[in-house]
C-alpha cells in the first residue's frame, strides 16, 4: 500500500561500514515525518550489514549480489512504500531539515515533480593532511544535481524509469537526462541540503574509469533529442 505522505529513503551501500551509521543517523534526525529507511547492501564484504542491522526496526535491510549502485537504488524503489523517493549515498550526510524544505515546495507548487538543493563538500575527518592535499575540496556551495539532494514524486520517478545498471558510474546523469527529455518539472533550492564526504575511495580512480561512460551518456542524450525533433 502506497502512503501519500511517506518519504522512502533509499541508501545503497558497498563496503562503507566506516560511514554508514552517520548517514543513517542524518536521516533519522530529519525534522520531517513520516519516512522509511531502506538500506540495500550491494554485496559488501565488510561489516556494513552489521552496522545497518544495529538500527533494527528503524531500517529495512536488503542484500543483493554486487550489481552496482544503480541496481541497488532500483531494488530500493521496488521495495519502497512511500509516495516520494529520496536517495542518500552511504558516505554522505543530510542537513536535518532537508526533507522538510523540499516537502514545502511540493505543498506550495503541486506541479513540481522533483526538488534538488545545494551541496557542501568536506574532507572526511580521519584523513591525514597529505591525503587531504591530494583531494580538491571546493569551499563554495554547489548546485546539487545529485541523487543525494533529490526528492521526487513516486509517479514521476517511474515515468522516467529506473536507473541503468550497465554503467560503471554515471547512472544518475543518464537518468536525469531522460527526465529532462520528458519535461519533468524541477526546482533547485538555494539552501544547503547535503554534505558530500570526500575520502580516499570515492574519487580519482573511479572517475577515471567512468570517462567512457560519460561520453556515451552525452551521445545517448543528444541522439534522443534529435529523434524527438525529427518526430515533431
The pLDDT assigned to 205 comes to 38
Work out the average pLDDT over 141-161.
97
Work out the average pLDDT over 142-169.
93
Work out the average pLDDT over 133-142.
91
The percent of the chain in helix, strand and coil, each rounded to the nearest 5, is 40, 25, 35
CA–CA dist 71, 84 (Å, integer): 19
The pLDDT assigned to 209 comes to 45
* The overall pTM is greater than 0.85: yes
Work out the average pLDDT over 112-137.
93
Does CATH place domain 3-231 in 3.90.550.10? yes
Which of 88, 112, 120 lies closest to 191 in space, CA to CA? 120
Q: Give the pLDDT confidence of 187-204 residue by residue, as tens digits.
A: 999 999 999 999 987 644
Q: Give the pLDDT confidence of 160-170 residue by residue, as tens digits.
A: 999 999 876 67
The pLDDT of residue 74 is above 90? yes
Which of 20, 73, 70 lies closest to 62 in space, CA to CA? 73
The pLDDT of residue 2 is above 70? yes
The pLDDT of residue 186 is above 90? yes
Work out the average pLDDT over 203-228.
49
The pLDDT of residue 9 is above 60? yes
The pLDDT assigned to 98 comes to 98
The pLDDT assigned to 168 comes to 63
The pLDDT assigned to 231 comes to 52
What is the torsional sign of CA 202, 147, 97, 80?
Answer: negative
Nearby residues of 87 by Cβ (< 8 Å), 6 or more positions away: 9, 10, 11, 12, 73, 76, 147, 148, 150
| Choice between 181 and 222, residue whose per-residue pLDDT is larger | 181
Work out the average pLDDT over 83-101.
98
The pLDDT assigned to 13 comes to 97
Work out the average pLDDT over 131-141.
90
Work out the average pLDDT over 89-115.
98
Amino acid at each position: 500500500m502506497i502512503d501519500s505522505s511517506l518519504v522512502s529513503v533509499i541508501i545503497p551501500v558497498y563496503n562503507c561500514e566506516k560511514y554508514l551509521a552517520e548517514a543513517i543517523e542524518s536521516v533519522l534526525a530529519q525534522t520531517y515525518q513520516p519516512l522509511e529507511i531502506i538500506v540495500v547492501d550491494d554485496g559488501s564484504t565488510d561489516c556494513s550489514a552489521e552496522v545497518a542491522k544495529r538500527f533494527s526496526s528503524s531500517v529495512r535491510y536488503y542484500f543483493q549480489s554486487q550489481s552496482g549502485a544503480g541496481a541497488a537504488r532500483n531494488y530500493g524503489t521496488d521495495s519502497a512504500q512511500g509516495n516520494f523517493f529520496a536517495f542518500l549515498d552511504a558516505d554522505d550526510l543530510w542537513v536535518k531539515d532537508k526533507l522538510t524544505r523540499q516537502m514545502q515546495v511540493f505543498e506550495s507548487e503541486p506541479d513540481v515533480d522533483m526538488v534538488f538543493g545545494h551541496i557542501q563538500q568536506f574532507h572526511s575527518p580521519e584523513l591525514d593532511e597529505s591525503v587531504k592535499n591530494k583531494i580538491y575540496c571546493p569551499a563554495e556551495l554547489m548546485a546539487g544535481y545529485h541523487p543525494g539532494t533529490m526528492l521526487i514524486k513516486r509517479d514521476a520517478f517511474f515515468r522516467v524509469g529506473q536507473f541503468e545498471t550497465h554503467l560503471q558510474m554515471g547512472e544518475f546523469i543518464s537518468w536525469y537526462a531522460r527526465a529532462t527529455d520528458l519535461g519533468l518539472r524541477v526546482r533547485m533550492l538555494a539552501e544547503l541540503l547535503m554534505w558530500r564526504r570526500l575520502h580516499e575511495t570515492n574519487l580519482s580512480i573511479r572517475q577515471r574509469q567512468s570517462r567512457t561512460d560519460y561520453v556515451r551518456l552525452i551521445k545517448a542524450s543528444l541522439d534522443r533529442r534529435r529523434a524527438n525533433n525529427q518526430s515533431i
